[in-house]
Amino acid sequence: MAYSPIGNLNLGNFLQIAFSDGVRNQLSEDYRDYDMVKQIREGNPNGRQVNFLFQKSFGPAAVQYRNPNFSVNFPAAQQVSTQEHTALYKELDVTVELEYNLWNMARKSPAKYAEPLANEIASKTTAAKRRLAADLYGDGTGLVGKVASVTDTVGVNGSAVVTLDATTAAVFNGHVGMFEFGDLLRVHEVTGTPATAPTVVGTFLAWRVRSKNRQASQVTLEAVSASGAVLELTASNLADTDYFYRIGQPSIPNRSAIVDYGAATEVIPGLESLASSDGRVVHGISMSGASASSTFDGGGSALDVSMIQTAMDQAKINVGQSTYAWKKMCMAPEAAAALIESREQDRRFHSIEDNKRGVRTFIYQHGNDAIEVTTSEYIPKARIFISPENKSTKGKVLEAHMSDFEQVKVNDSSAFMLKSSADGYERKIVTYMSAVGTLICKHPAAIARIQNFTV
């Protein structure tokens, strides 16, 4: 006998439907890296940019030995070398949209209807913080990932399973951690020009992230229209020369001819550029010589504790041991897992357990510095960043000149407004949030960077 729901009975539909409390979120709300951005904040940004000075030399040629028995001229003077650099502010905007009827009912009866409004605003705030957390480790171009290969599943519910370029070389090609569930992406060639659009039934708008597989470095994408409907897929037309960017990014760079990673796009430059040593230019700084990070290249070998030791040795030689204290070593979860065996065998690793707070982690002891191992989903598998803290009052090595997210409104007017359209106003209300700022690194050589290894 087939099951007959109570709604099929006479007057059965008059029975009230009971809803469980709360929304069951299926996504990660983790934005610990955004908390790191807050820790390195240097106040709200004013104007359109921040200027700062770099000193790259003490003038050592002015110091020379002389024979005291002869009259010899003093050595030729050599002044210190300084250069002014500029970091342009970037703006991150958020739009919240709700149906007018729902908003109006929430206003009249907040006890019953306020949750959808609060959930929508909270979700957009979380999405914005996770975006900043991801870009903390990006290169400033907005790159999400590069195609290595693709497998199409054609049909009405078709998709493209994209294997990402996850090579261990020094070049940054994005990675699976940069993809967010439900995000909309466009594909561009290395020059920044749009790549070939997929062959679909309907009008293609963007690729939407359906699922992710970190172990295989794969993402599953579906072609969608402007209304969000999944389009019937005939061919993805994706190639291994294609790069993914988020759909709303105004400027797509020519990756083969970037002049300055700090001004290449509207996206803030992250540690991939701020802590580089390949000669690229960031905020007018050539990342080489005294201005480069203390980088150790693993040459494609398996991650080993000796890489950490060598990178830290180099950082302390470059900047000295009395100015900074190194306390945090950020890496992908896969890299941290690869160090577990080393932790069992190397006495420089120590476990930290806090019975009161439930904290369990392990540290690497380098000289007087106890460096805690922390993980982030946004760091590529072949990257480790060891950032210091300044022992003096001269400020931080990494600085976030960033404002808080604020709702956009004029004077004391309502932050909510009707959504306009070509025919007037839709029965939807919108509100906007915005933040302005950028990231700078005041002493790149103080950051120990390990790259090009396998886990």
pLDDT tens readout for residues 415-439: 777 777 777 778 787 888 888 888 8
Task: Look at residue 406 and tell me whether its pLDDT is greater than 70.
Answer: yes
CB 238 within 8 A of CB 147: yes
Task: Look at residue 356 and tell me whether its pLDDT is greater than 50.
Answer: no
In the prediction, which pLDDT does 104 show?
A: 73
Its sign, for the CA torsion 246, 251, 256, 260, is: negative
- What is the end-to-end Cα distance of the chain in Å, rounded? 56
Task: Look at residue 357 and tell me whether its pLDDT is greater than 50.
Answer: no
Burial of 132 (0-12, 13-18, 19+ CB in 10 A): buried
Tokens 């992710």 -> residue: 212
Alpha carbon distances (Å) from 227 to 30, 202, 204, 230, 242 = 29, 11, 10, 9, 25
pLDDT band, very low/low/confident/very high, at 258 (cuts 50, 70, 90): very high
Task: Look at residue 359 and tell me whether its pLDDT is greater than 50.
Answer: no
Helices in 326-406 by DSSP H: which ranges? 333-338, 340-345
In the prediction, which pLDDT does 133 show?
A: 87
Q: Which tens digit of pLDDT belongs to each residue from 105-125? A: 766 776 666 666 777 777 888
Q: What whole-number distance in Å separates Cα of residue 161 and Cα of residue 154?
A: 11
Average pLDDT of the chain to the nearest whole number: 82
- Conformation bin of residue 221: beta by default, left when phi > 0, alpha when psi is -120 to 50: beta
Q: Which tens digit of pLDDT belongs to each residue from 336-346? A: 888 876 555 55
155 SS3 class: strand
Q: Which residues contact 378 (CB under 8 A, 6 or more apart)?
A: 33, 133, 134, 136, 137, 177, 178
CA nearest to 380, candidates 200, 139, 209 = 139
In the prediction, which pLDDT does 415 show?
A: 74
At 220, list the tokens. 């599953």
The residue type at 233:
L
Task: Look at residue 358 and tell me whether its pLDDT is greater than 50.
Answer: no
- Give me the percent of the chain exceeding a pLDDT of 70: 79
Task: Look at residue 38 and tell me whether its pLDDT is greater than 70.
Answer: no
CB 95 within 8 A of CB 430: yes
296 or 125: whose pLDDT is higher? 296
In the prediction, which pLDDT does 54 show?
A: 67
Q: Which tens digit of pLDDT belongs to each residue from 128-147? A: 888 888 999 999 999 999 99
At 208, list the tokens. 């939407």
Average pLDDT on 313-320 reads 89
Q: Which residues contact 174 (CB under 8 A, 6 or more apart)?
A: 138, 143, 144, 145, 146, 164, 165, 243, 244
At 73, list the tokens. 């001229």
Task: Look at residue 286 and tell me whether its pLDDT is greater than 60.
Answer: yes
Which H/E stretch holds residue 267? none
Q: What whole-number distance in Å separates Cα of residue 252 and Cα of residue 180?
A: 19
326 or 12: whose pLDDT is higher? 326
Which H/E stretch holds residue 33? helix 32-39
- Give me the percent of the chain exceeding a pLDDT of 90: 35
